[in-house]
Amino acid sequence: MTAALGCSGNWSSGGVRCCVNTVAKVMQEAGLRARTKRVRRRTTTGSEPGGVVVPNLLKQRFTEEKPNQVWLTDLAYVPTQAGFSYLCTVEDLYSRRIVGWASGREANYSNSTF
């Protein structure tokens, strides 16, 4: 769209100088929208047909009266220059503090010790 308007960042190309906001304004007035590239996200979870369904023991009750009664876990993947690193955390629901964690190059629970 910038090229169609003749906008250029420098004067030597013969175009008219304009900023991104000017282009956005002209596009909005013309009823045009930019085509955006769809972001493909890697799916790290999925349900298997016939797989084991774990019962929901917490039942959306996110408060606890004593420490060390309910622990929550989460697995996150962190992008790095060398690929992904996985971080598994264990949180005490009463104190909302992390009581254990493990990290590694693979999402593998057998190597995790808390």
Say which range, 41-50, 68-77, 100-109, has the weakest mean pLDDT.
41-50
pTM, 2 dp: 0.49
Assess if residue 8 is contained within a domain: yes
Assess if residue 30 is contained within a domain: yes
Whether residue 50 is predicted with pLDDT greater than 90 in this model: the reply is no
Assess if residue 59 is contained within a domain: no
Q: Per-residue confidence at 73, pLDDT binned at 50, 70, 90?
A: confident
Domain that holds residue 19: 1-40
Assess if residue 65 is contained within a domain: no
Tokens for 66? 């004593």
Average model confidence (pLDDT) across the chain: 78
Assess if residue 13 is contained within a domain: yes
Mean pLDDT of 9-16: 56
Tokens for 80? 């790095």
Q: Residue 34: how many CB atoms within 10 A of its CB?
A: 8
What integer pLDDT is reported at residue 94 of this predicted model? 93
